[in-house]
Amino acid sequence: MAIILPMKVSELGEFGLIELLSEVVPQGSREHRILAGIGDDAAAWRSDDSVVLATIDALVEGVHFAVGSPWWELGWKAVAVNLSDIAAMGGIPRYALVALSLPGDTEADSVVQLYRGMAELGNQFDVAVVGGNITSAPVTTITMTVIGQGQNEGILTRSKAVTGDLVAVTGYLGSAAAGLKMLTRGLRFAPETADFLRKAHLQPQPRVAQGQLLVKCGVRAAIDISDGLMADLGHLCKASRVGATIAVEQVPIHPLMRTAFPEDSLDFALTGGEDYELLFTADRQTVNGAKAQIEASAIGDDCPVTIVGEVTEGEGVSLLAKDGRPFHVARGGWDHFKKGG
């Protein structure tokens, strides 16, 4: 092909670019036995006796975090976003590699704090950092690869949703976006609220154990919510060639967040990114079984499972108000190049 593209990546958008590139990248021969490739949360391929999962994610200063962000939390978050991708495949994370780009005048102690944050969450899930690369650069970028293993029962992918499935999510949505607003605007709340929102933004908890339980309960379609509920449900629908509805009044919003941001809370919950909760679909019985198991397990203490909608024929995500009529929302999800979706 000799297609000429007189277009900036900002016009094409992140997802348009990914679609375009997926036609150019080397696919490898049949012996690669690829189960999930570009366009899923993590790559998956069949090894001798098991399925290997691998994912890569970058945190860029000025894009994903502000200059002056606490280093320990950055380390935690770099691990969390990658573990969340493994969780969205229902897998077991095992090994990590880190590529760190830093200005030369960064304090050595800051980098140690960054790694301590990585270690805190990495040790929680027995993930070993086995390699890396450090280079100087004008802006700080933390890129991490996590390699893991699929469970014997199977993996979760974005492409397995079918019409009639229920749509469910773990945890509460929008808290990370609310935390970001609190921090960037310097808003003040009661200590319990401030602590909850700060942690939601800076220390997201990847749903690794929940993802594994989903697979064991028979769920096969999932995605992690990194770009916002509507955007990520949209990605899952596109990969599965289906549509979906969301009943807006069912979307789980934490009471502390709702009280702190009564005006914004629904917008945050529908379109705010970086919650790193899991969204999954399955038939009613499977969803209820998974809900019961996750909520009954120790890991479910602060992790309810909520049914928020339904998979439909067609395409795209529609919002339904309490009376079943269409509901309109101002913003789309998060696209790294386009503004305002």
What are residue 149's DSSP bridge partners?
52, 92
Nearer to its own copies, 11 or 153 (CB): 11
Q: Taking contact as CB under 8 A, which single stretch among the options 106-114, 170-178, 259-267, 275-283 is the one that binds its own copies?
A: 106-114
**Separation CA 37–CA 177 (nearest Å):** 29
Question: Which class for 51: exposed (0-12), middle (13-18), buried (19 or more C-beta within 10 A)?
Answer: buried
| Largest Cα span, the chain | 60
Q: Does 134 bind its own copies (CB under 8 A)?
A: yes
Q: Does 70 bind its own copies (CB under 8 A)?
A: no
Among 46, 66, 112, 153, binds its own copies (CB under 8 A): 112
Q: Does 34 bind its own copies (CB under 8 A)?
A: yes
Nearer to its own copies, 24 or 296 (CB): 24
**Separation CA 212–CA 92 (nearest Å):** 8
Q: Does 190 bind its own copies (CB under 8 A)?
A: no
User: Coil, strand or helix: which one is 309?
Assistant: strand
What are residue 148's DSSP bridge partners?
53, 93
Tokens 């375009």 appear where? 20
Counting residues that bind its own copies (by CB under 8 A) gives 83
User: Is 329:267 a contact under the CB 8 Å cutoff?
Assistant: yes
Among 83, 87, 89, 102, binds its own copies (CB under 8 A): 102
Q: Taking contact as CB under 8 A, which single stretch among the options 95-103, 179-187, 262-270, 317-325 is the one that binds its own copies?
A: 95-103
- Alpha carbon dihedral 323, 329, 334, 340, in 10-degree steps, equals 160
Nearer to its own copies, 231 or 305 (CB): 231
Smallest separation (angstroms) from its own copies to the CB of 184: 18
Q: Does 66 bind its own copies (CB under 8 A)?
A: no
User: Is 244:136 a contact under the CB 8 Å cutoff?
Assistant: no
Kindly report the number of other CB atoms within 10 A of residue 238's CB atom.
Answer: 18
Q: Taking contact as CB under 8 A, which single stretch among the options 119-127, 229-237, 294-302, 307-315 is the one that binds its own copies?
A: 119-127
Smallest separation (angstroms) from its own copies to the CB of 80: 14
Q: Taking contact as CB under 8 A, which single stretch among the options 25-33, 227-235, 278-286, 302-310 is the one that binds its own copies?
A: 25-33
Q: Does 101 bind its own copies (CB under 8 A)?
A: yes
Q: Does 24 bind its own copies (CB under 8 A)?
A: yes
Q: Taking contact as CB under 8 A, which single stretch among the options 31-39, 233-241, 267-275, 284-292 is the one that binds its own copies?
A: 31-39
Among 46, 66, 136, 297, binds its own copies (CB under 8 A): 136
Smallest separation (angstroms) from its own copies to the CB of 241: 21
Q: Taking contact as CB under 8 A, which single stretch among the options 11-19, 158-166, 211-219, 275-283 is the one that binds its own copies?
A: 11-19
Side-chain half-sphere CA neighbours of 258 within 13 A: 9
Tokens 């970086």 appear where? 274
Rounded to 5 degrees, what angle do the CA atoms 187, 192, 198 make? 55
Among 19, 69, 70, 94, binds its own copies (CB under 8 A): 94
Sites for its own copies among residues 146-185 (CB under 8 A):
147
**Separation CA 266–CA 257 (nearest Å):** 10
Q: In what order do the strands lie in the sheet with 34-36?
A: 34-36, 43-46, 51-60, 141-149, 92-102, 128-136
